[in-house]
Amino acid sequence: MSDPVDPVASAYLNSAVALAVENVARGGGPFGAVVVTAEGRIYGGTNRVTADNDPTAHAEVVAIRRACAELGTFDLTGSTLYASCEPCPLCVAASLWARVDAIVFAADRHDADRAGFDDTRFHEHFDGVAPAIPITAGSADDPLAPFAAWAEHPGRIDY
């Protein structure tokens, strides 16, 4: 069914999941991501849609922006993006523009759907489009932890 668990990938995915859980505690959306460069530099991002009133401030985009800003480049060739949840079409496109080599995710679009997000609907818009980079499911310890935290957070702002 799937490749043997890659412990390095799992560690980065667990970091992305942990960022997502922390973000919920701060009142943000239940999504986190880390960009890992070829040299092993790590740049995290969390969803800031409601915090910034920016519908494009997805965790993956925030992580890409941070990596580029701190590295002083717009080209992340050689990097891998680890996301707490399967990236939406916006984030896949951002990864392509950033020249990210590959994307690995923890929870999937259906998990996001069950948590109340529109991911499946947006994915369906692009169904049949072959991804230009590898986008694969990885193994995290608790991929649904961000959504569980989200469901229990009394102050969440649905979006």
As annotated, the active-site residues are: 60
Q: Please identify, using beta-carbon distances, which residue of 8 and 97 lies nearer to Zn ion.
A: 97
Q: Among 22-30, 83-91, 115-123, 143-151, which window interacts with Zn ion (CB under 5 A)?
A: 83-91
Which residue bears the tokens 């992340």? 76
Output the smallest distance, CB 4 to Zn ion, in A: 28
Does 58 engage in binding with Zn ion (CB under 5 A)? yes
Name which position in 36, 64, 83, 88 contacts Zn ion (CB under 5 A): 88
Q: Please identify, using beta-carbon distances, which residue of 18 and 92 lies nearer to Zn ion.
A: 92
Does 107 engage in binding with Zn ion (CB under 5 A)? no
Helix (H) or strand (E) holding 106: strand 102-107
Q: Are 35 and 13 in contact (CB under 8 A)?
A: no
Residue 107's Cβ-side half-sphere holds a number of Cα atoms within 13 Å equal to 29
Does 93 engage in binding with Zn ion (CB under 5 A)? no
CA 61/CA 57 separation, integer angstroms: 6
Q: Are 34 and 42 in contact (CB under 8 A)?
A: yes
Does 90 engage in binding with Zn ion (CB under 5 A)? yes
Q: Please identify, using beta-carbon distances, which residue of 90 and 133 lies nearer to Zn ion.
A: 90
Does 91 engage in binding with Zn ion (CB under 5 A)? yes
Q: What is the largest CA-CA distance in the chain?
A: 40
CA dihedral 35, 43, 29, 118 (to 10 degrees): -20
The site for Zn ion (CB under 5 A) is made up of: 58, 88, 90-91
